[in-house]
Chain A
Amino acid sequence: NAGVTQTPKFQVLKTGQSMTLQCAQDMNHNSMYWYRQDPGMGLRLIYYSASEGTTDKGEVPNGYNVSRLNKREFSLRLESAAPSQTSVYFCASSRDFQPYNEQFFGPGTRLTVL
């Protein structure tokens, strides 16, 4: 039982390049989330998927797109990376979208955009 896994762990991009961050969970969870964490700030919600087949914007969605590929996988895409997107990205999942439910987090992806 690996929990929430993310790939890659580290990535360096040039401005304008695109990439997709992958996230998968093996806990049969219905809901999945993408966050970014910047120095001196807490996590900020980018997008979430309350259930398979649905996605919604969070607090900071601009510059990102997401795909809920199936129940297990939820990817985050940067179409044209900008230095402002340099951050650590966390994926999380929860049993369902009930607000009381614990979110389980992945280990993060450290992204640098030059």
Chain B
Amino acid sequence: AQTVTQSQPEMSVQEAETVTLSCTYDTSESDYYLFWYKQPPSRQMILVIRQEAYKQQNATENRFSVNFQKAAKSFSLKISDSQLGDAAMYFCAYRSASGNQFYFGTGTSLTVIP
């Protein structure tokens, strides 16, 4: 079975600095999709960024970018110019190409220090 591991339960970053959240996953599939979701204190999950496994180019969305290493099965999230509003729980997620398997990691709680 596929698993998603986030080894950093908590991280902190100074406002305006850069932070990287780690995620590794285990799969025997060659095609799949990876996501980072943000869950602020309000609890509602929001998509931050996504990556298709067959695309070698790393995805970027404004201040958010990923470092996707397919061979290492690693999918880290980099947040640049951190803002107070970035404080949240961040979940890494894996979805199979068939779509019927969707696995989340245990999350990383990010604190932004003013």
Chain A residues packing against B (C-beta within 8 Å):
33, 40-45, 48, 50, 56, 58-59, 88, 90, 92, 97-100, 102-103, 105-108
Contacts of B91 in A (CB 8 A): 42-43
Interface size on B, as a range, is 20 to 34
Q: Bound state CA distance, A72 and B45, in angstroms?
A: 20
Contacts of A50 in B (CB 8 A): 99-100
Interface hits, B40-65 → A, CB 8 Å: 42-47, 50, 52
CA of A113 to CA of B93, assembled, Å: 28
Q: Are B99 and A42 in contact (CB under 8 A)?
A: no
A56 touching B100, Cβ below 8 Å: yes
Instruction: Write the residues of chain B forming the contact surface with A, with a CB cutoff of 8 angstroms.
Output: 4, 32-33, 42-47, 50, 52, 91, 93, 95-107
- In the complex, residue of chain B having the shortest beta-carbon distance to the beta carbon of A100: B33
Is B43 in contact with A88, judged by CB distance below 8 angstroms? yes
Residue on B nearest A96 in the bound complex, by CB: B99
Alpha-carbon distance between A56 and B32 when the two chains are bound, in angstroms: 20
Specify which chain A residues have a CB less than 8 angstroms from the CB of B99 in the assembled complex: 50, 97-99
Q: Find the B residue at minimum CB distance from A40.
A: B106
Does the CB pair A42–B106 fall under 8 Å? yes
Partner of B47, one of A43, A58, A88, A102: A102
User: Are A105 and B44 touching (Cβ within 8 A)?
Assistant: yes
Indicate if the CB atoms of B44 and A106 lie closer than 8 Å: yes
Contact partners of A99 in chain B: CB under 8 A: 32-33, 95-99
Give the docked Cα–Cα distance between A44 and B42 (Å).
19
A2 to chain B, nearest CB (A): 12
The closest CB in chain B to the CB of A39 belongs to: B106
Question: Of all chain B residues, which has the CB nearest A57?
Answer: B100
Whether the pair B104, A105 counts as a contact (CB closer than 8 A) is no
